[in-house]
Structure formats: structure tokens, C-alpha cells
Structure 1
């Protein structure tokens, strides 16, 4: 039997979800992509839904894993966070969380909660950085808006192949945070 690392399976699942969404990704395709028999894959993951929390956790950790996000200067940390998010979205050309959000339902509660947790985790990481300079209440609002703007730019990138709106969004979000700190 071939040895395949759990993380490699999760990364392959993420790419299938990113490309085909929840409904379109299959356990058979995943097994084939990682070189396992389908039965071996099911020994590691009970079902497709069980993959979603791990995909979301890995993506969140990778998105916010840059040491620059821990800079004591909140402006530098916020700019780094936005750049990390934007770079990841530009590189992959779609957000796996957004793609999954449209495919998970009440019939897949574990997956739905994992996607929700991914977006809340992303928002909260941005909020925590911003709160140092602009206060918690304003930081939560700005972090939510930042996430939505980056996701909107991702839709444009995916459909039009144009990354310029993503770059403009990052620049505008940094400027808005600077302006909010002066209020």
C-alpha cells in the first residue's frame, strides 16, 4: 500500500473543491489524484464532508502564517495580512472557502460550520490586527468589509482574469485603515 501524507490528501482535496466545488469534487477523483484506492481514502476520511474542516484549517493557517502578521506595528501587520490574502487568491484564482460556501448545506453541517469558521477566522485575524490601531468595534466592521472586498475582487479575477481590482482593493483597504486611525 502506498504511503500518502494526510496533508497531501487535504491539499489535493482543496484543489478539487476549488476547481469543482463541493458537489463536483468526488472521493474517487481525490483517491486517483493522490494515488490511493478509494477504500484506503475512506479509512482516513469517513466521507467528503470530513475533509472540509481540514481543508479550511490548512487554508486559514497558510493564509495567516506569515511572520510579518505578528509585527508590533499594526499597520505593517495589516498590510502584510492583506497582501498574504491577496497573493493567495491571485495565485489560486479562486477562494476555496467561497467556492465551498455555495455547495455546503444543512445536509452537510460539519462542512458548513467549517466554511463559516474559515471566514470568521479570517475576519477575526484582520480584526485583531486592526483593533490595536482603531478600536475593536470599528476594526470588526473594517475587517468584515475588507474580507468582502477581497472576495469580490476574487470573483472578478476568476471571471475576467484581471488581478488589478485585487491590487486596488489592497491599496484602498490600507489607506482606509490609516485614515480610520486618525479619526
Structure 2
């Protein structure tokens, strides 16, 4: 992994079937609509057994977002292609993941957690900060750090917005336009 990318400490849990089922449950029902009983049913456990592993629903959020970030951000930073090519591929990867599922679990969770769920709220914040930092690090190989942060932020906003258009209107062209605009912005940032 690139030295400029620092993963938060909460990014240390391995993928398991409970995390995968919890992520799909959060995508389907959001944070508020998902219950521990729903999750227990999905994974074939008794609710009491689930509570032995997770004290509450909030405890699932960091693990779900960890798994999602691991699937989105490659560990290996040894890619020596030009930075713009790497960035374009990463944008396409992120967009494809969101388009395939027609929703972003991070965004669903962002709207479902609040000050009453501080660990979940912090995990969502850390997830998006990590994703932005990952993109920023790639962009900063060819642009100023300040420009890289702005472009990485805009990229996430665009792609998340396109996910909304895909989910609500089944408008897959919106995602392709978001990808192209995001890559074009990075390329023109060179000037």
C-alpha cells in the first residue's frame, strides 16, 4: 500500500459471513431498518449467538465498512503506471462496485447513524476519509495536494450522486458521465 495512505485502526477485522450479511442488510434496509433479528435470520444463528459476537447493531458498522474499504482499495501500492491511468482505473472500480449494487452502504449508513450511535458515526466518517485520502494520494502524484483533495472530494460526490440516479431511475448513463467528468477533471488539473 502507498505510504501516504493511512488506514484507521478500526480497519483490522477480516471478512466473514456475518459482516457480508450485515452489509447487504444495511444496503437493503438502512441502519434504522436493519435489526439484529434480521441478521440472525440471514446467517442462520440465534439472536443470542449473534449478540455473543456483537454487543449491538452499532458494533457491526466498523466491520462492514472495513470489509467494504478492503474490497474497494487495493492493499498493494506497487502499481507503477502513470498516476492518471491508476486514478481512472480506481474511479471505474469504485463506480462499478456502486453501480452493480445500485447503492452505497457507506452512504446508507451515513444517513442512518447520528450522535446516539457515536462509534457507527465515526466509522462512517473514517470510511469516507480513507476513501478520499486514497484517491488524494493517487492524484497528488501529479497535482498539488490542495487540488488533489478537492478533486478527490468532488469525485466521491459525483459518483455517489450517480449511484442515486442509478438506484432511483435505473439511469446507468449517469454513472458513465460521472466517471468521464471525474477523469477529465483530473486530466485538466494538470494544466
Asked if 1:53 corresponds to 2:62, the answer is yes
Structure with the higher fraction of residues in helix conformation: 1
**Cα separation, 1, equivalents of 2:168 and 2:45:** 33
**Cα separation, 1, equivalents of 2:63 and 2:78:** 22
**Cα separation, 1, equivalents of 2:146 and 2:69:** 23
For structure 2, list consecutive stretches of 5 or more residues without a partner in the other structure: 1-13
**Cα separation, 2, equivalents of 1:69 and 1:122:** 18
Q: Which residue of 2 aligns with 1:76?
A: 85
Q: Which residue of 1 aligns with 2:10?
A: none
Q: Cα RMSD over matched residues? A: 1.6
Equivalent residue in structure 2 for 1:116, among 96, 115, 125:
125
**Structure 2 length normalisation: TM-score?**
0.89
Map 1:78-157; keep pairs closer than 5 Å.
Answer: 78-157=87-166
**Cα separation, 2, equivalents of 1:69 and 1:161:** 36
Equivalent residue in structure 2 for 1:179, among 152, 166, 188:
188
**Is contact 1:134-1:180 (8 Å) kept?**
yes
Q: Which runs of 4+ in 1 moved over 2 A?
A: 65-72
**Greater relative contact order, per chain length (Cα 8 Å cut-off, separation 6+):** 2
CA positional deviation for 1:67:
5.8
Q: Which residue of 2 aligns with 1:43?
A: 52
**Cα separation, 1, equivalents of 2:17 and 2:171:** 30
Q: Which residue of 1 aligns with 2:9?
A: none
Equivalent residue in structure 2 for 1:17, among 15, 23, 26:
26
CA positional deviation for 1:6:
6.2
In the superposition, relative to structure 1, how do residues 167 and 137 fare at CA in structure 2: closer, same or farther (>3 Å)?
same
CA positional deviation for 1:176:
1.3
User: How many aligned residue pairs are there?
Assistant: 178
CA positional deviation for 1:66:
7.8
**Is contact 1:66-1:84 (8 Å) kept?**
no
